[in-house]
Structure 1
Amino acid sequence: MIKRRLFIFGIAIAVAGGIFGGYHMVQSKESTEPQVIRVGITMYNQYDPFTEEIRHNIEDYLAEYGTEKDIEVDSTVVYSGKNQLVQNDQVIDFIEKNYDVICVNLVDRTDPSVIIEAAKSADVPIIFFNRELVEDDLKRFNKLYYVGARPEDSGKIQGEIVIDALNERFDEIDVNGDGIIQYVLLEGEAGHQDAILRSRVSVETIKAAGYEMEMLGDEIANWDRKQAQTKMTSMLAGYPRQIELVLANDDNMALGALDALTEFGVQTYPLIVGVNGQEEVLLDISEGKIEGTALNNAKEKGRIIAELSMGIAIDGRPPEDIQMEDGKYYYVPYECIDSTNVLEYTNSQ
């Protein structure tokens, strides 16, 4: 009887040990599993080379961060096809699937209300980027952030590129010799803050240097190369030899203008300046076809957005080494690229 009791007691101890040992093993296994951070990214359009470059950099830096910190980063990219209603649904879907942070390249910078209210209700942080929403909207929830660049700075750089060229070879650029620079504008989107400020500041900067200017045309080309080519071709039909300067709000449209000029058979190209620093434009600058551009640093924007996402998702706040203005804004500075320094940038591509 005693032996039987000892046998049963031994079995009980073994079973208990197995249970608790198994529990300990499960606990140990769970404790070694990597942390998972889920980042949703919604883009206004998949056909914009510049915003696509930012998107690639966000994903690359998220992956790099995860590897360095032994964190599993699950990033998902969706496109809204320039439809704000679609983008609203995409953000709500990310929220319902418990994403930790959502990065939004807004379709309509004046209409973020649905996104903001959904994020606020669910207490989910949003990082808007490259299409700046109205300041009052960003104040509506304490977990809203913006990463971009100051558009007026890009306009100033464009103006300075033109001024340097005029200072060096005014007589060559002033084809008709009237002492006035005849120019055309290729603007991004109607009502878009970047388009408005770049256009205004670039012209004001040139005029402030003492040069007279006459606008021959102002066309909306929606950051699109083909649209810019069509609009430029139309302006060339009206002014086949009078256009001496093309101020394009971005490099896509600068390339579209160059396409139109080439197809039109213009003998002497006007000055062309853009914004963003796309690789093809850098080549054209080195060949003297485009005067210059203001680098909108897509790589640095991607890095900041990725690190900001991780800091907010893990610690609930931006990393200490990312200095946010007013706790909400981060502006990546523009850089001037022209014939004097373009090789520095082409060699780093």
Structure 2
Amino acid sequence: MKKVSLLIVFVLVVGLIWGCNLPNNDVEEVRTIKVGITMYNEFDPFTEEIRHNIENNLTQIADRQNVEIVTTTVYSSQNQLVQNDQVEDFIEKGYDIICVNLVDRTDPSVIIETAKSTDTPIVFFNRELVEDDLKRFDKLYYVGAEPEESGKIQGELVLSALEKRFDEIDISGDGVIQYILLEGEVGHQDAIIRSRVSVETILDGGIELERLGDEIANWDRKQAQTKVTSLLQGYPRQIELVIANDDNMALGAVDAMKIFRVQNMPLIVGVNGDQEVLKYISDGVIEGTALNNAEAKGRVIAEMAYGIAANGKVPDDINLVDGKYYYVPYIKIDRSNVKEYIEE
């Protein structure tokens, strides 16, 4: 009887050991997804905010979905050839999807053909390429905002201010608003359309305008400051309105006005919703801005990147225009609502 009991114990122990060494098919392996991000420039505050939100949202998605998401960000230093090589390097290293903030929106051919030949999906963002280029491969997408909307908001901000205090803004008293335009960069679709629509909106509102200057400042605060300083030397008291394609250049205009000690600050409008600009709006230094929602863009890009890489498709709750485009709406910000957007 004792021998039988020992035999049973031995069998149970061996069975237990054997069972422990068997592979556990119920334990799901953690999948690794590789996402590459290439940025046109590391010194643009707005695109850096988008990049930061993409990375943060991918981290949150990884936690929710129990997957490992490896995110690698590189910068192209405003050189399209460098960016082409970066995309090729991502593909050679087996990245599942690449998010591209184009250097030159008119020259995406190398990236598109490289992606197409390797069946690698690309999400372009914030620099909208030509429609025909986006149609060249069925796994190309774009996330951005419609520039017409931002230009219209800028025009509406100006019209609203002029309706309330035209005589105060019209320093010369001639019934004409003298303005300068600060444009983002040559050939950038947002800069071209935003500039045109903002001015057209003001003119359509019955306001007579006289342009004193139209300067390219490349979305850069220091460049904008330099360009406005130069204009102030020719028009020290005549500038009544500054239309800046983005907040960074609006801040450059403010810097120039302060250094030049302009007594009557002109009406200034921007685009993006920069926190420093929001504080200036609250203080009455800048009239308003069109919030270009970097947080929403980052979230959508991250969700699209994960959905395409993990499931082979854009998530169902992201409604694309023409199966290719996702546009994040702008929000008009002035003194009436600015406190809702200022971060404490």
Taking structure 1 as the reference length, the TM-score comes to 0.92
2:271 to 264, 267, 275: 275
Which residue is 1:128 aligned to?
Answer: 124
> Using the alignment, how far apart are the partners of 1:227 and 1:57 within structure 2?
27
Q: Unaligned regions of 5+ residues in structure 1, if any?
A: 1-13
TM-aligned CA deviation for residue 251 of structure 1: 0.3
Which residue is 1:345 aligned to?
Answer: 341
TM-aligned CA deviation for residue 315 of structure 1: 1.1
1:217 to 205, 213, 217: 213
> Using the alignment, how far apart are the partners of 2:336 and 2:263 within structure 1?
24
TM-aligned CA deviation for residue 21 of structure 1: 7.5
Which residue is 1:246 aligned to?
Answer: 242
Deviations 1:258-278 (A, max 9, x none): 000000000010000000000
Deviations 1:166-197 (A, max 9, x none): 00000000000000000000000011111101
> Using the alignment, how far apart are the partners of 1:84 and 1:152 within structure 2?
26
2:77 to 77, 81, 96: 81
Amino acid at match of 1:124: T
Equivalent position SS for 1:32:
coil
Equivalent position SS for 1:91:
helix
Which residue is 2:97 aligned to?
Answer: 101
> Using the alignment, how far apart are the partners of 2:36 and 2:161 within structure 1?
44
1:298 to 294, 300, 314: 294
> Using the alignment, how far apart are the partners of 1:123 and 1:21 within structure 2?
42
Alignment of 1:158-307 (within 5 A): 158-307=154-303
Amino acid at match of 1:261: M
> Using the alignment, how far apart are the partners of 1:283 and 1:37 within structure 2?
40
> Using the alignment, how far apart are the partners of 2:20 and 2:261 within structure 1?
82
> Using the alignment, how far apart are the partners of 2:321 and 2:169 within structure 1?
41
> Using the alignment, how far apart are the partners of 2:29 and 2:189 within structure 1?
45
> Using the alignment, how far apart are the partners of 2:199 and 2:28 within structure 1?
59
Amino acid at match of 2:126: N
**Percent of aligned pairs sharing the same letter:** 69
Amino acid at match of 1:338: D
> Using the alignment, how far apart are the partners of 2:310 and 2:135 within structure 1?
22
> Using the alignment, how far apart are the partners of 1:304 and 1:124 within structure 2?
19
Number of residues of Structure 1 aligned to a counterpart in Structure 2: 331
Amino acid at match of 1:50: F
Taking structure 2 as the reference length, the TM-score comes to 0.94
Equivalent position SS for 1:146:
strand
> Using the alignment, how far apart are the partners of 1:28 and 1:82 within structure 2?
49
Q: CA RMSD in A?
A: 1.6
> Using the alignment, how far apart are the partners of 2:29 and 2:38 within structure 1?
28
Deviations 1:40-92 (A, max 9, x none): 00000000000000000000000000101111111000000000000000000
Is the alpha carbon distance of 1:173 and 1:84 closer, same or farther for their aligned partners in structure 2, counting shifts above 3 Å?
same
Which residue is 2:49 aligned to?
Answer: 53
> Using the alignment, how far apart are the partners of 1:323 and 1:32 within structure 2?
31
TM-aligned CA deviation for residue 33 of structure 1: 2.5
Amino acid at match of 1:194: D
